[in-house]
Amino acid sequence: MSATVQPPESVTWRVHIDRSMWIGGVRSLMLQALHPMAMWGVWQNSNFQEDPLGRLQRTADFVGMATFGGHEEIEELAARVRGIHRSLRILNHDTGRKERLDQPELLRWVHCAEVYSYLEVARRSGLPLTAAMADRYLDEQRHTATYVGLHAEDVPGGVAEMESYLAEMRPQLRVTEEAAATVRFLMWPTMPENLKFLNPGKPGYFPFGALCYYSLPDWARQMYGALPEVPQPAVTAALRSFRTTISAVPERLHDYAFAKPTRDMLDRARQRLAADGYDLGRGLYGLRDPRRWPQRPALIPA
């Protein structure tokens, strides 16, 4: 058994190693922002206003660690995240009262908006996943929910259950001033320090941010009304083109999108997996191919 918590045989690996995750990550932040309390929690307890892309990067770092890290690394990170959440409070602008950030209903919303965005964007971008594999991914992500302080049974474990949950949540969602600003920031962001070299090409980021926006559910785009509508088949084609293009970027170059501690963690993951019998000749990305797994029964079909 691999030393990683989510082995390459898992559906989680297939989704999280896929380069469509960059679209899914931004989309998830846009979707999460529609919950007023979740949005106020971010707005009041982080530097999101100055560095929205940096928050995306930190989210990517957390997801990367939860997928590719070792048990001890993940437990240490999870304990730190839960401790931070316990210490933070949110001013509820509707009531004027301060509330805990680690309320289960808020953690559940953030988790569900995030993982379902990853899944939806990956499938729409062309990652081949059967309906059973999509359900399995959400079931696997129940364990990830425990890292932030939820119980596994607190979150949906299949597509139908997830869609039912999102439908139930819609009456509680609205576009606050902070949510509207969030979408604007995510389409024209401040670059984090390790990506400052990209500033000259920042105008070229807008099509990426717009694609993230257009990948939102119809009802979420209608709530925001931030951009004119375009035909959704064109959005699907753009998502597939993005995935094809970014998938051609060499893994080591792509790793520079992550902070150095995450790059170091990925190197440790490569070492663990190689020692466990996986063929790393084509990197972590290449482990989507079952022929590069050790000779033991696969957990999911090729």
Structure tokens at 278: 């996986």
Give the pLDDT confidence score for residue 2 in this predicted structure.
Answer: 41
% of the chain residues with pLDDT over 70? 88
Q: What is the pLDDT of residues 232-287, one digit of tens each?
A: 999 999 999 999 999 999 999 999 888 888 899 899 999 999 999 999 999 999 99
**Closest to 294 in 3D by CA, of 4, 6, 8, 5:** 8
> Average pLDDT in the 184-203 region?
68
3-state secondary structure the chain: CCCECCCCCCHHHHHHCCCCHHHHHHHHHHHHCCCHHHHHHHHHHCCCCCCHHHHHHHHHHHHHHHHHCEHHHHHHHHHHHHHHHHHCEEECCCCCCEEECCCHHHHHHHHHHHHHHHHHHHHHCCCCCCHHHHHHHHHHHHHHHHHCCCCHHHCCCCHHHHHHHHHHHHHHCCCCHHHHHHHHHHHCCCCCHHHHHHHHHHHHHHHHHHHHHHCCCHHHHHHHCCCCCCCHHHHHHHHHHHHHHHHCCCHHHHHHHCCHHHHHHHHHHHHHHHHCCCCCCCCCHHHHCHHHCCCCCCCCCC
pTM for the model stands at: 0.90
Alpha carbon distance 56, 192 (integer Å): 10
**Closest to 55 in 3D by CA, of 68, 43, 65:** 43
- 297 has a pLDDT exceeding 60: no
Give the pLDDT confidence score for residue 52 in this predicted structure.
Answer: 62
Instruction: Go through 170-193 and write b for each residue having 16 or more CB atoms within 10 A of its CB, e for each that does not.
Output: eeebebbebbbbbbebbbebbbbe
Give the pLDDT confidence score for residue 271 in this predicted structure.
Answer: 94
Alpha carbon distance 300, 127 (integer Å): 15
Q: What is the pLDDT of residues 38-55, one digit of tens each?
A: 999 988 988 766 666 666
User: Distance between the two ends of the chain, CA-based, in angstroms?
Assistant: 19
Indicate the domain borders of the chain: 11-257
- 298 has a pLDDT exceeding 60: no
Average pLDDT, the chain: 89
Alpha carbon distance 79, 261 (integer Å): 17
Q: What is the pLDDT of residues 129-182, one digit of tens each?
A: 999 999 999 999 999 999 999 999 999 999 999 999 999 999 999 999 999 999
Give the pLDDT confidence score for residue 206 in this predicted structure.
Answer: 87
% of the chain residues with pLDDT over 90? 72
Give the pLDDT confidence score for residue 77 in this predicted structure.
Answer: 85
Give the pLDDT confidence score for residue 155 in this predicted structure.
Answer: 97
Residues 6+ apart with CB under 8 A from 298: 9, 290
